[in-house]
Chain A
C-alpha cells in the first residue's frame, strides 16, 4: 500500500498539467493486449439500469426534503444595463414568499475570476442574475419574480465577436472585450517560408455556430444546513470542485460542506463548474433555516448555463505536389459570451498531422451573450470540422485521394512536443474504417454525381487527450459475507462509471457482480477523484479501482498464508477462495479469512499510478460518413457513419457502444441541425426552448458502425484505458461536411449545413 510522490502530467480541467502526485510505489502488471479477462471488457448490463427504468433513481431534481422551499432566479431581460434600482416590495408581500435576494442584500461574492459578483449591479447579457426568490412553492416563487420591478439603465451592447474586437465597440467589461487582451499565439518553424516552398497553397474561411448543451436534467441544487454543516445535492460533473467553490464563497471550511450527486441527467461539459445557483441556495437556506431547492427552467438552460462558442477560422495550408504538408496557419476568433472563457480551437491543426511550419493566432472574444463553457471536446469539435474541411479541399486541389493525403502526413511523434505516443493506431482506423464504408468501391469523384439525390462519402480524423492520470483514489470494503463495496469520489454522467467500477472489483476479486455495491458521487464518504470531463473518468479511476482490488487480494493472500501456514507462493486465489497449491483441500473462503482475522470489513484504498514519462497520451480515430443530398430540397441525410477508433482497452462494450452512438448523433446534429439564434438588434436569444433550438430526434439517427482498432495501452496504466466521451463527437461534423462536398462538388463552409444553405449554394453553382 506504499505510495510515493512523483512528477506526472495529464490533461485536466485546466489543460495539460505538469504536476506532482501521490501514486502507488509499485505498478501492477498492466492488463495488456493478451490479458485474459472474464468480466472487464464484457457487455455487462448497467448496474444502475434497474433504478433508472423503474423511476426509482433519485436525481438532484427529485430530492425532496422535509420543509423544503423553492427558489427561482430573476434574470436580466436586456443584454447590457446598469441596474438603477430594484423594487422587491411587492414580491416580498406575496403570501408564501420567504426571501428575496438582490445586489442590495447579498454579500459581494466574487464570480468568474473576479470579473463579477453573485448579484452584480451591472448585467452583461440577457439572462444574467438579477435576483432570487425563495418561496413555499415553485409556483409562488415564479409569480414573485413577475412582481419584482427592475429599473435598468440600458447600456450599448455587442453580440457579434467581429464587431466586439474593434476598438470602437461597446465594452462588455471596462478592461476590454478580448481575453488576455490579445490572441493566443503558437508557432513552430517558419510558416511564411513553408508557404513559399509549397507547390500549392490553399486558403479559406470556415465558421461554426453556437450550440447549447441542453442536458435533460436542468442545472439544479438542493441546499440544507444542520447546524454549521451544509449538504448540497447538485447535478454536477465535479463534486469536489463544487464543494470547494461553495466553501470558498461562504468562507467556511471545505470539511463542513458535503456535496452529493448519485445520478445526473446529462452534463456534456456544462456542469463542470460550480454554479451561482448553488451558492445562492446555500445562502438563502442558511438565512431562512429551511432546505432550498433551486432549479433552472429550459429558458435559463438555453440562456445562462453555457454553450459551445462559435468560431470563424481563416485557415491556410501549403503542400508539395506529392501531398507533403509544409505549412499550416490559422487565424480565428470565437464568442465566449459575457464572462471569461476560452474559444481556442487550434489544437487539431497543430497536432493532427506532421507539418514543420505552423502558426496559429486565436482570439477569445467577449460579447453581451451567455457565457460559453466546456462542451464535449471543447475547441476540437469546431477546430476539426474546419481543419479537416481544409485538408479535404487541399486534397481536391492536389488531385489526391483525401485519405491518402492524411496517411501521407501521418506522424509518429507529437508534432508539438516531439515526444512519442504511448500508442497510436490511426492507420488501422483508416484501413478498417475505409473498408467498412466502401471508400474505394463506392466513393465517386467529387461533384460527379448527377440527378436529384446525390450521394457522397467523406472522412475526418480525430485526436484528443483522454489518458487521464493521478490523483484518483478508490476504496474497497470487503465484508465478511464476501460481498464488497466500492467507493470513489467520481461521477457517472450516464457513461457507465458505476458499472465499470463493479466490473474491475469483480474481475480481480472474482466476486459476482451482484454482490458488489458501488457508491460514487459523495464528497464525504468517497475518496477523492477529479471531475468527470475531458474523457478523464475511466482512464483515471479504473486503475485506482484495480489497485484497490489487487491490494485487497494481496491482503487476503497474506492472511491466507498465515492461516494455512504456507508461503504465499504456495497459494492460489480463485473464485473468492484461497487454497494451497500442494494440498488443494486446505482452502479458505473470503468469509473464513475475514472471520479468522476478527474483522467485519477489510478496507483498502488504491490510487491511480503516474503517467509514463517521456510520452504523449492521446486517443485517435477516424470517422467515415456516407450522405445523400436531395438537391431539390437541400436536405442532407446521413446514411451511415463508420467510426474507427484507437481508445486503448474497452472496459464495457455495451456502455462504450452507447456512448459512441451518443457522441456521433450529437456530432451529426451539430453538423446539420443545432444552432443558437440571436436577434442582433436587441441582443436577445430567439431559441430558448427545445423546439426552436432543434435537438435531434430518434428519426435523426444514422446507421452507425463502431470499430475499435485498439486492444490495450499498457504504457498508460494498469488497465490500459483511454477515455472515449469526446473522441466520439470530434470528427463527425468534418466527415459529414466532406461527404456533402463529395456529393455536390460544392463546399458548405459554415455549420450547420441546413437546407437553405445547400439550396442557395447549389443555385450559385448553376
Chain B
C-alpha cells in the first residue's frame, strides 16, 4: 500500500473541503473495510485519506415517534445487529446486518460505508483494465459471469454488493447527504447509478459529498419484514441473490408490500410493477408462486448466470409465505 497523508477532520465541513479540493486524490475513509482493500490492490492510490471517524456525532441509532428511525452513517453494522430498537420493529434490517460479512468485519464496517462500497466484480478487483476503471470493455460480458447481473446491465455488468442497501430499499429509506454547505435528503432509490448512466461510479455522490444519516420511515403496526440472502458458502459470502420484503396484510390479502432484490443488477433492484401487483394479492402459495414468476421479466442473462432467475423467484416466494404465515 502506498503511503499517504492521514487527515483527521474535526467537522464535516473540513472533511468535505479536502475531498472537494482534491478530487481523485483524497478519499473518504470510515470503517475502511472496503477502501483498504482497494488501496492494497492499487485500485485506489490516494494522496490523502480523510478519516471520517474523527468527526463527532455520526454514530447513533435513534427512534422518533412518527418520524421513524435515524441511523448515523458511522454506525457499525454490529450495532445494528444488536440494537433492540431495530430488532423489535425492523426485522429486515437486523437480518440483513447479520448477513453482512463476518463478526469482525461487522465490528469495523459502517452503514454509510456499506452503502458506498465498490463492486466485488473480480474483473474490477483484479488486474483488468475494465470499463469501470477507465478501460474500454467489460470483461465479464463474455467472460466468467456466474456472479454478474441479469438485469440493468450494460455496458458494465456488475452487481451491487450491499446487503444493507437491499433491506433499506424495501423500507423506503432516505439518505441525508452533506454537500459542504448544507444537507439534503434523497430517497435511497435515487442514490444508485446504473452503468448506462455512468459506468465509472455506483452512486450520485459528487466530490465532497458525504452520507451522514440514513432515515427509515415509521412502519405501521402489523408490518412484517424480512431479508433472505442466498450465498454459496455457509457464511461470509456476498449474495448470489437476496430479497428484502416489507409486507402488511389485511385479512387474507396483502394490503401493502414492497420487494427489493440484491445480486441481480448493478444497483439494488426494485420492480415497481411487481410491487403494484402485491397490492391486494391473495395470501396463498399459488398467488405468491404466480407473482414470483413475474420477477425479472425483462432479464437478459449472460452465459453463466441464468440460474439466478429461478433462484430469486423461489426464495422470494418463500419469504412471502414466511412473512404472511
The short answer to whether A and B are in direct contact, CB under 8 Å, is yes
Query: B204-248: contact bitstring with A at CB < 8 Å (1 yes, 0 no)?
Result: 000000000000000000000000001011111100100000000
**A666-688 CB contacts (< 8 Å) to partner B:** 673, 677-682, 684-688
Q: List 12 A-B contacts (CB under 8 A).
A: A77-B127, A632-B314, A632-B315, A633-B230, A633-B311, A635-B230, A679-B128, A679-B143, A684-B127, A692-B125, A694-B232, A755-B232
Q: Determine which residue in B2, B146, B307 has the highest number of CB atoms from chain A within 10 A of its CB, and name it.
A: B307
| Contact across chains for B310 and A755 when beta carbons are under 8 A apart | no
Known: A632-B315, A633-B315, A684-B126. A755 touches B139 (CB 8 A): no
Give the distance in Å from the alpha carbon of A687 to the alpha carbon of B122 in the complex. Answer: 8
| Contact across chains for A755 and B307 when beta carbons are under 8 A apart | yes
| Contact across chains for B126 and A686 when beta carbons are under 8 A apart | yes
The distance from the CB of A160 to the nearest CB of chain B, in whole angstroms, is 14
Among B125, B139, B233, B307, contact of A673 (Cβ-Cβ < 8 Å): B233
Determine if B197 is an interface residue (Cβ-Cβ < 8 Å).
no
| Contact across chains for A684 and B307 when beta carbons are under 8 A apart | no
Chain A minimum-CB-distance residue to B313: A632
Give the distance in Å from the alpha carbon of A689 to the alpha carbon of B144 in the complex. Answer: 16
Chain A minimum-CB-distance residue to B102: A697
| Contact across chains for A682 and B128 when beta carbons are under 8 A apart | yes
Determine if B11 is an interface residue (Cβ-Cβ < 8 Å).
no
Give the distance in Å from the alpha carbon of A689 to the alpha carbon of B311 in the complex. Answer: 26
**A741-766 CB contacts (< 8 Å) to partner B:** 754-756, 759-760, 763
Chain B minimum-CB-distance residue to A631: B314
The list of the 8 closest CB pairs from A to B, nearest first, reads A699-B234, A632-B314, A756-B307, A699-B235, A686-B122, A700-B234, A759-B307, A679-B143
Query: B15-40: contact bitstring with A at CB < 8 Å (1 yes, 0 no)?
Result: 00000000000000000000000000
Give the distance in Å from the alpha carbon of A681 to the alpha carbon of B130 in the complex. Answer: 14
Give the distance in Å from the alpha carbon of A677 to the alpha carbon of B233 in the complex. Answer: 16
Determine if B123 is an interface residue (Cβ-Cβ < 8 Å).
yes
| Contact across chains for B311 and A634 when beta carbons are under 8 A apart | yes
Residues of B within 8 A of A696 (CB): 233-234
| Contact across chains for A139 and B237 when beta carbons are under 8 A apart | no
Residues of A within 8 A of B1 (CB): 139, 142
Chain B minimum-CB-distance residue to A679: B143
Residues of A within 8 A of B306 (CB): 760
Give the distance in Å from the alpha carbon of A177 to the alpha carbon of B304 in the complex. Answer: 29
**A78-100 CB contacts (< 8 Å) to partner B:** none
The distance from the CB of A78 to the nearest CB of chain B, in whole angstroms, is 10
Among B128, B307, B318, contact of A634 (Cβ-Cβ < 8 Å): B307
List 6 additional contacts besides A678-B144, A680-B143, A756-B146; criterion CB under 8 Å: A679-B139, A681-B142, A685-B126, A686-B123, A686-B144, A759-B310
Residues of B within 8 A of A699 (CB): 233-235
Determine if A143 is an interface residue (Cβ-Cβ < 8 Å).
yes
Give the distance in Å from the alpha carbon of A685 to the alpha carbon of B315 in the complex. Answer: 31
| Contact across chains for A694 and B122 when beta carbons are under 8 A apart | no
Give the distance in Å from the alpha carbon of A692 to the alpha carbon of B240 in the complex. Answer: 12
Residues of A within 8 A of B232 (CB): 673, 694, 754-755
Residues of B within 8 A of A691 (CB): 237
Give the distance in Å from the alpha carbon of A699 to the alpha carbon of B143 in the complex. Answer: 30
The distance from the CB of B68 to the nearest CB of chain A, in whole angstroms, is 33
Residues of A within 8 A of B128 (CB): 679, 682, 684
**A225-254 CB contacts (< 8 Å) to partner B:** none
Q: Determine which residue in B142, B235, B311 has the highest number of CB atoms from chain A within 10 A of its CB, and name it.
A: B311
Query: B54-77: contact bitstring with A at CB < 8 Å (1 yes, 0 no)?
Result: 000000000000000000000000
Chain A minimum-CB-distance residue to B317: A632
The distance from the CB of B138 to the nearest CB of chain A, in whole angstroms, is 12
Give the distance in Å from the alpha carbon of A687 to the alpha carbon of B306 in the complex. Answer: 21
The distance from the CB of A522 to the nearest CB of chain B, in whole angstroms, is 36
Chain A minimum-CB-distance residue to B228: A633
Residues of B within 8 A of A700 (CB): 233-235
Residues of A within 8 A of B237 (CB): 691, 694
Residues of A within 8 A of B122 (CB): 677, 686-687, 692
Chain B minimum-CB-distance residue to A699: B234
Residues of A within 8 A of B314 (CB): 632-633
| Contact across chains for A759 and B235 when beta carbons are under 8 A apart | no
Query: B119-138: contact bitstring with A at CB < 8 Å (1 yes, 0 no)?
Result: 00011011110000000000
Give the distance in Å from the alpha carbon of A708 to the alpha carbon of B253 in the complex. Answer: 58
Residues of B within 8 A of A756 (CB): 146, 304-305, 307
**A606-650 CB contacts (< 8 Å) to partner B:** 632-635
Residues of B within 8 A of A634 (CB): 307, 311
Q: Determine which residue in A143, A686, A760 has the highest number of CB atoms from chain B within 10 A of its CB, and name it.
A: A686
Known: A632-B314, A677-B144. A697 touches B126 (CB 8 A): no
Residues of B within 8 A of A686 (CB): 122-123, 126, 144
Residues of B within 8 A of A633 (CB): 230, 311, 314-315
Residues of B within 8 A of A697 (CB): 233-236
Give the distance in Å from the alpha carbon of A694 to the alpha carbon of B234 in the complex. Answer: 10
| Contact across chains for A681 and B139 when beta carbons are under 8 A apart | yes
| Contact across chains for B307 and A688 when beta carbons are under 8 A apart | no
Give the distance in Å from the alpha carbon of A681 to the alpha carbon of B315 in the complex. Answer: 34
Give the distance in Å from the alpha carbon of A15 to the alpha carbon of B1 in the complex. Answer: 44
**B129-186 CB contacts (< 8 Å) to partner A:** 139, 142-144, 146
| Contact across chains for B315 and A682 when beta carbons are under 8 A apart | no
Residues of B within 8 A of A635 (CB): 230
Residues of B within 8 A of A632 (CB): 311, 314-315, 318
Give the distance in Å from the alpha carbon of A18 to the alpha carbon of B125 in the complex. Answer: 50
Residues of A within 8 A of B123 (CB): 679, 686
The distance from the CB of B158 to the nearest CB of chain A, in whole angstroms, is 14
Give the distance in Å from the alpha carbon of A113 to the alpha carbon of B86 in the complex. Answer: 63
Chain A minimum-CB-distance residue to B305: A756
Chain A minimum-CB-distance residue to B307: A756
Among B2, B139, B305, contact of A682 (Cβ-Cβ < 8 Å): B139
Give the distance in Å from the alpha carbon of A146 to the alpha carbon of B143 in the complex. Answer: 27
Give the distance in Å from the alpha carbon of A142 to the alpha carbon of B236 in the complex. Answer: 29
Among B42, B144, B240, contact of A755 (Cβ-Cβ < 8 Å): B240
Give the distance in Å from the alpha carbon of A117 to the alpha carbon of B193 in the complex. Answer: 50
Q: Determine which residue in B3, B42, B146, B314 has the highest number of CB atoms from chain A within 10 A of its CB, and name it.
A: B314
| Contact across chains for A688 and B315 when beta carbons are under 8 A apart | no
Give the distance in Å from the alpha carbon of A458 to the alpha carbon of B50 in the complex. Answer: 56
Chain B minimum-CB-distance residue to A685: B126
Give the distance in Å from the alpha carbon of A58 to the alpha carbon of B125 in the complex. Answer: 33
The distance from the CB of A310 to the nearest CB of chain B, in whole angstroms, is 15
Query: B284-325: contact bitstring with A at CB < 8 Å (1 yes, 0 no)?
Result: 000000000000000000001111001100110010000000
| Contact across chains for A760 and B144 when beta carbons are under 8 A apart | no
Give the distance in Å from the alpha carbon of A560 to the alpha carbon of B139 in the complex. Answer: 79
Give the distance in Å from the alpha carbon of A142 to the alpha carbon of B40 in the complex. Answer: 11
The distance from the CB of A117 to the nearest CB of chain B, in whole angstroms, is 25
Q: Determine which residue in A635, A681, A754, A756 has the highest number of CB atoms from chain B within 10 A of its CB, and name it.
A: A756
Residues of A within 8 A of B3 (CB): 139
Give the distance in Å from the alpha carbon of A755 to the alpha carbon of B315 in the complex. Answer: 13
Chain A minimum-CB-distance residue to B315: A633
The distance from the CB of B321 to the nearest CB of chain A, in whole angstroms, is 11
Chain B minimum-CB-distance residue to A756: B307
The distance from the CB of B291 to the nearest CB of chain A, in whole angstroms, is 15
Residues of A within 8 A of B311 (CB): 632-634, 755, 759
Residues of A within 8 A of B139 (CB): 679, 681-682
The distance from the CB of B74 to the nearest CB of chain A, in whole angstroms, is 24
The distance from the CB of A750 to the nearest CB of chain B, in whole angstroms, is 13
**A576-614 CB contacts (< 8 Å) to partner B:** none
The distance from the CB of A298 to the nearest CB of chain B, in whole angstroms, is 10
Residues of A within 8 A of B307 (CB): 634, 755-756, 759-760
Chain A minimum-CB-distance residue to B139: A679
Residues of B within 8 A of A685 (CB): 126
Give the distance in Å from the alpha carbon of A139 to the alpha carbon of B235 in the complex. Answer: 32
The distance from the CB of A355 to the nearest CB of chain B, in whole angstroms, is 37
Give the distance in Å from the alpha carbon of A305 to the alpha carbon of B56 in the complex. Answer: 47
The distance from the CB of B124 to the nearest CB of chain A, in whole angstroms, is 11
Residues of A within 8 A of B144 (CB): 677-679, 686
Residues of A within 8 A of B240 (CB): 755
The distance from the CB of A765 to the nearest CB of chain B, in whole angstroms, is 13
